[in-house]
Amino acid sequence: MYELGAIVVSLVLLVVLLRLKVRLGRSMVLCALALGLLLRVGPIEIWRFLAVEWQDKPLGRTTGYMFVSLSALLLLVNVIGQAMQEVGISRRILPAMQGLFRSRRFALALIPMLMGLLPSPGGIMLSAPMVREAGDKIGVSRSRLAAINFHFRHQWECIWPLFPSIPLIQGMLGVEAYKIIIYNLALTGAGLLGGAIFLLSFGIPAKQPGHESEKRRLGEHLRDFVQAFWPIALAAGLYAVLGWPPAVGILLGILGLLILHRVPLGRWGSVFKAGAQLDMALLILGALSFKVVLEAGEAIGRVVEFLTAANIPSEFLIFLLPFFVGFTTGVTLPSIAITFPFLLGFIGMGEQTNMALETLAFSGVLCGLFLTPVHLCIALSASYFETPLAGVILKLLVPTIFVGLAGILVAVLLG
């Protein structure tokens, strides 16, 4: 099928450009342009799509708003990392976490897990400065840090009710939310287990004298941890309670750090210069453009129709369709919205719902999202941690297989 071939060609182009050392943001933009040419989606079609989107969707879900808010968030995350270094917080993060949790591995996984409870696009960058600072301190490779930051943030997506995918599935299937959560717990458990074994058990250097936590009181470690974490918690709280964009909370956190620690105004300029990174804005532009071209060109729907007409065994199709759409779009909600209506005939609805097959379908979505180079969070992690994208995806492969196997086992044993 032509649309399927066009998507594959554009993804291959992305891989080639990255191998040629083209920066990630520029590569994503060129990949989106190539896909637009192949699908014959030009500026007029894109403009019409954006105009309809502007009329039909809430402001927070429009592409333009997402570009502005995500770009601001990513640039300000760099700034807050620089601000923490300026006020001296960064060097106290690792000793505080070690003193509180007594485990370097647990400390590295805990921050993205906590921030993963916040369903914010691009929110992976909220935990990135802490993970990078702590990992650099103990000598963990940047590719492993990027994989840890990504993997442990995304383990709540199939069970945490604040993620819109849960109420969406609940509405389509007509079942109670707790049933979805109970069955999908197998996916979260498998992901955490796979990450603990293959991301935290390997590649963490042996403790050195400088890695030991300082001999201080628990209250002092707690104070340092709070000083490092409160700007992130502020952004999360303002988003969850008031619906403010995370970038606004991060900006307030930056200003609070600089004011509370009495940083001279003359130093503020050098702190904010850390956000002047054009490639990150291009990365957002390329990722969103890829998604818009797919939707404006109606490519995903046609590929789904092609696969459903190919007489593929139902269990394989239940996994394959969500995997493919998740892999090509890199976004959870559209992947579920596009594929689950086609799968209702297999999964069932209401009292006839086979929840084990729902778990199998959701595992397909997650596996596609965890391994695709167009998933914004993977691309952002690779860019922020300054490591090749392929290396991050390679480290995520085996933990992702755990998630896929969990979905298959649930379908076989409980379906």
Q: Which two tokens stand for residue 356?
A: 């084990």
Q: Would you say residue 143 lies in a domain?
A: yes
Per-residue pLDDT of the chain (415 residues), as tens digits, is 788 888 888 878 887 887 787 887 888 889 889 989 999 998 999 999 899 988 887 777 688 887 887 788 778 877 887 787 787 776 676 677 667 776 778 878 888 887 777 666 666 777 788 788 778 878 899 999 999 999 999 999 898 876 778 887 888 888 888 899 999 999 999 999 999 999 998 878 876 655 554 556 777 778 877 877 788 778 777 876 777 777 888 889 889 888 988 888 888 888 888 667 777 788 778 878 887 888 888 887 787 777 777 777 888 889 998 998 888 878 787 788 778 877 887 898 888 899 999 999 999 999 999 999 888 788 888 888 989 888 999 999 999 999 999 999 999 998 7
Q: Which two tokens stand for residue 133?
A: 């600072």
Q: Give the span between the Cα atoms of 213 and 387, in whole angstroms.
A: 28
Q: Give the span between the Cα atoms of 186 and 407, in whole angstroms.
A: 7
CA distances from 189 to 105, 159, 196, 333, 369 (A): 17, 11, 11, 21, 17
Neighbour-count burial for 98-131, b at 16+ CB within 10 Å, e otherwise: bbbbeebbebbbbbbbbbbebbbbbbbbbbbbbb
Q: Which residue is associated with the tokens 């996916």?
A: 187
Amino acid code (one letter) for 334? P
Query: Which ranges constitute the DSSP H helices of 88-217?
Result: 90-101, 104-115, 124-138, 142-153, 165-173, 177-195
Q: Would you say residue 337 lies in a domain?
A: yes
Q: Give the span between the Cα atoms of 354 and 147, in whole angstroms.
A: 33
Q: Would you say residue 49 lies in a domain?
A: no
Q: Would you say residue 320 lies in a domain?
A: yes
Candidates 285, 279, 289, 301; CA nearest to 36 is 289
Given a contact cutoff of 8 angstroms between Cβ atoms, the answer to whether 370 and 396 are in contact is yes
Given a contact cutoff of 8 angstroms between Cβ atoms, the answer to whether 221 and 123 are in contact is no
Q: Give the span between the Cα atoms of 90 and 100, in whole angstroms.
A: 16
Candidates 66, 137, 112; CA nearest to 232 is 112
170 burial (CB, 10 Å; 0-12 / 13-18 / 19+) is middle
Q: How many domains are contained in the chain?
A: 1
Residue 243 carries which DSSP code?
-
Q: Would you say residue 8 lies in a domain?
A: no
* Domain assignment of residue 100, given as a range: 60-277+307-414
Q: Would you say residue 341 lies in a domain?
A: yes
Q: Give the span between the Cα atoms of 50 and 44, in whole angstroms.
A: 10
Q: Would you say residue 139 lies in a domain?
A: yes
Amino acid code (one letter) for 63? T
Q: Would you say residue 24 lies in a domain?
A: no
